[in-house]
Structure 1
């Protein structure tokens, strides 16, 4: 695959590189549990939601907006994503894509990651690194 083809593929998946880098910088500045949640959602979306570069760039920017605001207001993660993170993500991405099949294992991984990130909200021990 040539550099031009790679660049086109990357843009199709994540959108323009400059917007992607800005989003990643924003997500890295989030408090640990919010960052873990955003990373879990990002991973889920990247692997299991059909992609369109421009709408994905907007979606990830909106995701960063949502969790920056939640962190600033100290809104518990469970108040943002609810009890079913898969349902939350699928509803969130519906605004940006046409959806697709998501394997049960991916759904469980997303749910488990957010359970860990929301540990202080559910009484479970938080095992994420700061």
Structure 2
């Protein structure tokens, strides 16, 4: 691994992510608008720290909206009546490490230590 990748993470992952974002930017309306809104939500909600899982999620996300645009599938047919539930279900399919995992472990350890006294 190059020294810069030690600091920033694998450059190939960044390239794959940028290609997925470019694919979303190239979508026609309304798919681009919806895909960008979901991208923003997934970034905040997903909480993934595992680069491979994060990149896979965004590549699959781009695939989904490209396919919908090609097929002319209405947005509501994809997301249903509850777009938040759709986004969160989509994100749950990617089970990489999340930032909250470290905090869960800290909480558990603190309770275990307190209970042992």
Q: TM-score, normalised by structure 1?
A: 0.64
2:22 aligns to what? 25
1:34 aligns to what? 31
C-alpha separation in 1, matches of 2:42 and 2:93: 13
Secondary structure at the counterpart of residue 75 of structure 1? coil
Matched, 1:49 2:46: yes
**Alpha-carbon deviation of 1:41?**
0.8
**Alpha-carbon deviation of 1:100?**
9.1
Matched, 1:87 2:88: no
> How many residues end up aligned between the 2 structures?
94
C-alpha separation in 2, matches of 1:85 and 1:91: 10
Structure 1 unaligned blocks of 5 or more: 102-130
1:7 aligns to what? 8
Q: State how 1:88-127 maps to structure 2 within 5 Å.
A: 88-97=86-95
Mark the structure with the bigger radius of gyration. Answer: 2
Pair 1:82–1:89, CA change in 2 (3 A): same
Pair 1:45–1:22, CA change in 2 (3 A): same
C-alpha separation in 1, matches of 2:90 and 2:99: 13
Q: TM-score, normalised by structure 2?
A: 0.70
Report Cα offsets for 1:10-40 as digits up to 9, x if no partner: x6xxx81110111011111101211111111
Structure 2 unaligned blocks of 5 or more: 101-117
RMSD: 2.3
Pair 1:73–1:84, CA change in 2 (3 A): same
